[in-house]
Structure formats: C-alpha cells, structure tokens
Amino acid sequence: MSPFDYLNSINTGKGNLDTSDYVPFMVNRGLSYHQDTTLLANEMNRYPDIDHKLQYDFFKNSVRPRKRYAKWQKAEKLHKDIDIIKTAYNYSREKAEAAYNILTKEQLKELRKIWSIKSS
C-alpha cells in the first residue's frame, strides 16, 4: 500500500487498513499540509517510536473526515552550475547554493571548463 492509501483512509474515515506498509514520516507530512491536521501531525512527530498501528488509529479517530487535497512540495531543479559546485567541492545542496552566490562569473566559467572535461 502507498502512503496515499493511508491518508485517504484517515481523511475519509472509511476502512481499516493493515499497517504493515505504514510509513509514519509520509503520513505525517501529508497531514501537515492542512491547517486542521498540522498540530496532530506535529504531535505524532514528537513520538516517532510509537507502534504504527497506534499512530494510524490515533489519526483515524482524531481527524475529522473531509476532503483534503494539497499539492506535495518538490525540490526545485538544480542549476547546472550548482551541480558542478557540489561535485567539485563535495558540498551539500545548501552549501553549493551559498557558494554559487559568492563565486564570480570567471570562477564559474573555470569550474565548468574543468568539470565538463572530467565528466565527458
């Protein structure tokens, strides 16, 4: 089962699903997008060791049934220069973005030149 099956079951109040495939992080994330379920998702984030069945039952009995839809946030596409900076300096995405703002055009051009030869 996918996390969306569990979210649908929690949001509609129908069905009682098997929790063998339950992923607490994904369900908490899905519920955190809505104003009326954010605090409940945060409460479950405070207790990550709770049994999956107990967490599912908590949401099922606490969340009022209604239609909820939110577009999931996705990571933005990286600029090619940021990928090169990540590779060249072994930086995380955040550090590479900070370095991108600091580097001059000449330095970026030099990095592109060096790493395009190595990646080919």
Residue 117 has pLDDT above 70, yes or no: no
Task: Tally Cβ neighbours within 10 Å of residue 111.
Answer: 18
CA distance 110 to 45: 45
**Per-residue pLDDT band at 119 (split at 50, 70, 90):** low
Tens-place pLDDT, residues 36-72 = 999 999 999 999 899 999 999 999 999 999 988 888 7
Q: What confidence score (pLDDT) does residue 73 get?
A: 78
Q: State the pTM of this model.
A: 0.64
